[in-house]
Amino acid sequence: EWFARADAGMLHQLLFNLLRNALESEVRPGSPVRVTVAESEGGVLVEVADEGGGLPPEVAAAPFTPYLTTKTGGTGLGLLICQELAERMGGRLELTDRKGQGVTARVTLARAP
């Protein structure tokens, strides 16, 4: 059992956005979205992984670029907001594009005393 140093509202919004992105990226209806929590070098690591098509090339090159979106009706601010929320809590957000196999979002937060 690990406790992360985080603001409950910010953490809720961060995870909500990452889960929504993962669910919207589904290539096949019902494909799984995996959420894991683990210890990571003195911190807490939360991963959200989907089995979608991966990041489009223009997004993979700069995923946190404001207003860059491939979604109809998207604002292009979701990942940027997620990155800002993670940083405001003293953590970081990293994305791994698994090239046509999906995307893994990793949020690392400091462990609470």
Q: Report H helices in 1-113.
A: 8-24, 57-61, 78-88
Per residue in 23-67, pLDDT (tens digit) is 887 667 778 899 999 998 879 999 999 998 888 888 888 888 888
Per residue in 88-109, pLDDT (tens digit) is 999 999 999 988 889 999 999 9
Check if the beta carbon of residue 95 is closer than 8 Å to that of residue 50. no
Question: Between β-strands 43-50 and 103-110, what pairing exists: parallel, antiparallel or unpaired?
Answer: antiparallel
- Pick from 56, 88, 99, 98: which is nearest to 107 by CA? 88
Per residue in 81-90, pLDDT (tens digit) is 999 999 999 9
Q: Alpha-carbon distance 70 to 93, whole Å?
A: 20
The encoded tokens of residue 18 equal 């990452």
- Indicate the pTM of the whole model: 0.88
